């Protein structure tokens, strides 16, 4: 009897949206001044260009995949599903004008639905949310979940003026809890990184991890999840090696807080299966499984961001060939956990 084919869910794939595409989904007033709008980027970026030779001398298989190419990758990796996140618009937190942020998020979400989600049932979407206007963010999350069937909303790890645990954002968490959808804190660079680093790869090493650590710590100490029993919160594209260390530091500090005022512990949220982390190919993954358990880790292709790793079949084979994880853990990481996290 032949062994059954493994089930695979890609927990974090990407579209490479372009400004020229997004503006077609913006309101008439923006479209009428298309040339002027597109002279500058629609969203601020950062000062550390990721594709310069100093950052990576290797051949770059750079892709800007449309839905057809993405379908080819789904077939290549035999994915049951992929959950799609943006690329350039991940920097939405740096937008200063709340009205403009609302416009960009709505346009991106409409673009994602029409250019990808409607074309193949294996696509699932994560929505951009204009956290600059929390009421509008709640409304947009409700719209895309109910109308488009998106599986949740994105919280930028960097760029916003206030940390994600601030009470002004709590209505967004509460709405996600009511809807039964997920929220993902997704790593991104920001203009704040321009004066923190000296060389490109130094920035590339830390700009995904440090903001995640800061946001995770803030969310835990602020007690965002105290009363939310259904919300699942993810921290993506920063690995998970930092997580056990940080949880131990947070819980040691929380022991000093009076029980009546103490926020829910990260370990309790893990036990309730409300926290999730993307694990890559780090050498710490075995230890992370031992310390965190194997119910909170997610596998992701990150396609097309890793320009030297675009063969989906190879990526999947590498995961199942790992000697440091049990067969059960590998199955949970590449399928079961994502299915639960995204309520698929």
The whole-number pLDDT of residue 126 equals: 98
Asked whether the predicted pLDDT for residue 195 surpasses 60, the reply is yes
What are the DSSP calls for 274-320, one per residue?
A: -EEEE--S-TTHHHHHHHH-SSSEE----TTT-TT---HHHHHHHHH
**CB within 8 A of 86, min separation 6: which ones?**
14, 15, 17, 108, 112, 128, 154
Peptide bond into 304 cis (omega under 30): yes
Q: Quick one: CATH architecture of 9-341?
A: Alpha-Beta Barrel (3.20)
The whole-number pLDDT of residue 206 equals: 87
The per-residue pLDDT for range 210-220, each reduced to its tens digit, is 999 999 999 99
Asked whether the predicted pLDDT for residue 2 surpasses 70, the reply is no
* Helix H or strand E encompassing 153: strand 152-156
**CB within 8 A of 240, min separation 6: which ones?**
277, 278, 279, 282, 284, 285, 288, 292, 297
The percent of residues in the chain predicted with pLDDT above 70, rounded, is 99
Q: Is the dihedral of CA 322, 325, 328, 329 positive or negative?
A: negative
The per-residue pLDDT for range 270-310, each reduced to its tens digit, is 999 999 999 877 889 999 999 999 999 999 999 998 877 88
The per-residue pLDDT for range 43-70, each reduced to its tens digit, is 987 777 777 777 777 777 888 899 999 9
Asked whether the predicted pLDDT for residue 245 surpasses 80, the reply is yes
Mean pLDDT computed over every residue of the chain: 93
Place of tokens 């709008």: 37
Structure tokens at 28: 């008439």
The whole-number pLDDT of residue 63 equals: 86
| Residue 298, beta-bridge partner list | 278
The whole-number pLDDT of residue 262 equals: 97
The whole-number pLDDT of residue 302 equals: 93
Enter the pTM of the model: 0.96
The whole-number pLDDT of residue 31 equals: 96
**CB within 8 A of 243, min separation 6: which ones?**
216, 235, 277, 288, 292
The percent of residues in the chain predicted with pLDDT above 90, rounded, is 82
pLDDT, average across residues 97-104? 98
- In angstroms, the CA 71 to CA 84 distance is 12
The whole-number pLDDT of residue 62 equals: 84
The whole-number pLDDT of residue 3 equals: 57
In contact, 83 and 150? CB cutoff 8 Å: no
| Residue 81, beta-bridge partner list | 9
What are the DSSP calls for 30-73, one per residue?
A: HHTTHHHHHHS-SS---S--TTSTTT--S--------HHHHHHH
The per-residue pLDDT for range 170-185, each reduced to its tens digit, is 999 999 999 999 999 9
The per-residue pLDDT for range 251-274, each reduced to its tens digit, is 999 999 999 999 999 999 999 999
Place of tokens 């372009």: 18
Local confidence band at 250 (pLDDT 50, 70, 90 cut-offs): very high
């Amino acid at each position: 009897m032949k062994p059954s084919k493994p089930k695979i869910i890609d927990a974090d794939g990407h579209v490479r949206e372009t400004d020229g595409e997004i503006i077609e989904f913006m309101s008439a007033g923006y479209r009428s001044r298309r040339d002027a709008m597109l002279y500058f980027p629609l969203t601020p970026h950062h000062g550390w260009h990721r594709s310069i030779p100093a950052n990576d001398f290797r051949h770059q298989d750079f892709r800007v995949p449309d839905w057809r190419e993405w379908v080819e990758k789904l077939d290549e990796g035999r994915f049951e599903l992929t959950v799609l996140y943006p690329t350039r618009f991940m920097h939405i937190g740096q937008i200063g004008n709340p009205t403009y942020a609302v416009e960009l998020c709505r346009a991106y979400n409409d673009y994602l639905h029409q250019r990808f989600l409607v074309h193949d049932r294996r696509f699932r979407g994560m929505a951009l949310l204009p956290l600059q206007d929390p009421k509008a963010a709640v409304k947009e999350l409700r719209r895309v979940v109910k109308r488009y069937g998106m599986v949740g909303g994105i919280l930028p790890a960097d760029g916003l003026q206030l940390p994600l645990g601030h009470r002004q954002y709590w209505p967004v968490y509460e709405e996600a809890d009511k809807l039964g959808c997920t929220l993902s804190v997704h790593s991104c660079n920001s203009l704040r990184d321009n004066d923190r680093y000296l060389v490109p790869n130094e920035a590339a090493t830390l700009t995904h991890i440090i903001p995640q650590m800061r946001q995770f710590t803030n969310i835990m100490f602020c007690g965002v999840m105290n009363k939310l029993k259904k919300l699942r919160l993810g921290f993506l594209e920063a690995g998970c090696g930092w997580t056990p260390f940080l949880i131990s530091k947070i819980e040691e500090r929380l022991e000093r807080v009076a029980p009546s005022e103490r926020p829910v512990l990260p370990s309790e949220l893990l036990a309730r299966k409300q926290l999730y982390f993307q694990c890559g190919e780090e050498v710490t993954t075995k230890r992370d499984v031992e310390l965190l358990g194997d119910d909170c880790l997610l596998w992701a292709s990150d396609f097309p961001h890793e320009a030297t790793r675009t063969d989906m079949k190879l990526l999947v084979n590498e995961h199942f060939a790992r000697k440091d994880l049990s067969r059960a853990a590998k199955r949970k990481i590449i399928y079961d956990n994502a299915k639960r996290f995204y309520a698929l």
